[in-house]
Amino acid sequence: MRETSTFVQDLLTNLDQKRTHLAVFRMWCQERHPPECETVFNQIIENTREMIDILIDALKKEGVPIPDHLPNPRFIAEARKQPNSNARLHFAERFLRRSLAWYEERLARAQDPEEREVWERLFELEATNWALVEDYLNP
């Protein structure tokens, strides 16, 4: 059996993470929020869907089957504990900031131009998500 590359391992890890993030934002959208907050959640959902598509495309190019996914139950439980829109967006700001740092690490070590392009595209979308949250929290 062939050893899985670091790139593929990172793609799989990130796919799980983004699918969990998507589940969190969808869960939050099912509850009542101010319209501006709903707009932020919906934009982040769209960006995260695009990120998932990028990850799936990259995995397919690497010849890797796309695994099924169950959201991370501990992360979902923590997200569920957030009592209101503001707390949820502060929670999101923290995990989006960690995600951006993770992408920066991948970009710093990416040697292959195609790998670099994947991480750049993901970083840009995540930076947009983070900016949406920051703009809402700090008008």
**Which residues constitute the domain of residue 29?**
6-137
Question: Residues of the chain with pLDDT > 70: what percent?
Answer: 98
Rounded Cα distance, 134 and 89, in Å:
9
Rounded Cα distance, 130 and 113, in Å:
25
State the DSSP code for 64: P
Q: Over the stretch 20-72, which tens digit does the pLDDT of each residue have?
A: 999 999 999 988 888 888 999 999 999 999 999 999 999 999 999 999 988 89
Number of domains in the chain: 1
User: Domain for residue 95, yes or no?
Assistant: yes
Rounded to two decimals, what is the model's pTM? 0.93
User: Domain for residue 1, yes or no?
Assistant: no
Residue 113 belongs to domain with CATH number: 1.20.1260.10
Phi, psi of 77 (to 5 degrees): -60, -40
